[in-house]
Amino acid sequence: MLSEEEILEPPPLPTECPDCGSHSFVRICYGFPGPGMLEQAQRGEIVMGGCSWDTPNWYCKDCFNRWPEYPPPEGLHGTPEWRKKYLATTVAEYASLAAAAALPPEADEPTVANYWQRPDGRMVFLLRFPWGKLRIEKRLHLVPLGGAPVYELTGGWQKTIGVDYGKRERQAVLAAMRFERRPPT
């Protein structure tokens, strides 16, 4: 069990974001916020992490990376019937996305601003929309089980009333897939 000093002591200060190399990062603070923490968050000096303790200690303002992170998921839990159905769903969704990615991009589709390949095979994309940036991660943990790659939004959402988030997510995934298919330079 951690002592009060260990809980209150900030983690060691990194020198840069491990993904993009930016020096524009802040500490992630967990727990029920007091007035001082809320003011710091409003000024952009910290990011609120929620009421439960979590692993990521740092947040990059440029690429939305949170680190250090939990290891990526392994395997799949649930009943055999549920796993089979879920894996089939990922394969069907990926096939639909791959077919759509073979078509020309839409006029309002985002562009890939940056890309990182992780040692475990994951790919991270930073996409630029006209309204801002979005971070998406391609995970391969279901492929050995008979599933397909899964794309997950991991940062950069701007909550706006009346926005079709499903369309934004699909556009981000298609842009990432088209980027992966580009010819090598």
Q: Checking DSSP bridges between strand 150-155 and strand 132-139, what pairing results, if any?
A: antiparallel
Give dist(CA 156, CA 13) in Å, integer: 23
Enumerate the domain spans of the chain.
4-67, 80-181
Quote the pLDDT of residue 1. 46
Cα separation, 47 vs 12, whole angstroms: 16
* Per-residue model confidence (pLDDT) at position 42: 87
> pTM for this one?
0.82
pLDDT score of 123: 95
pLDDT at 22 over 60: yes
- Which residue in 161, 106, 111 sits closest to 133, CA to CA? 111
What does each C-alpha distance from 174 to 99, 135, 181 come to in angstroms? 10, 13, 11
pLDDT digits (tens, 9 = 90+) for 154-166: 888 766 666 788 8
Segment 112-148, tens digit of pLDDT = 999 999 888 899 999 998 888 999 999 998 999 999 9
Concatenating the DSSP letter of every residue in 80-105 gives: HHHHHHHHHHHHHHHHHHHHHHTSPP
29 confidence band (pLDDT: 50, 70, 90): confident
pLDDT band at 184 (very low <50, low <70, confident <90, very high): confident
Classify residue 5 by its DSSP letter: H
C-beta neighbour count of 169 within 10 angstroms = 16
Residue 86 contacts by C-beta under 8 Å, 6 or more apart in sequence?
76, 78, 147
Instruction: Indicate the DSSP class of residue 108.
Output: T
pLDDT of residue 147: 94
For residues 69 and 185, which has the higher predicted lDDT (pLDDT)? 69
Of residues 54 and 173, more confidence is placed in 173
Mean pLDDT of 32-59: 84
132 burial type by CB count under 10 A (0-12 exposed, 13-18 middle, 19+ buried): exposed
- Helices vs strands, H then E, count in the chain: 4, 8
- At 67-109, the pLDDT tens digits run 887 776 677 888 999 999 999 999 999 999 999 999 999 888 8
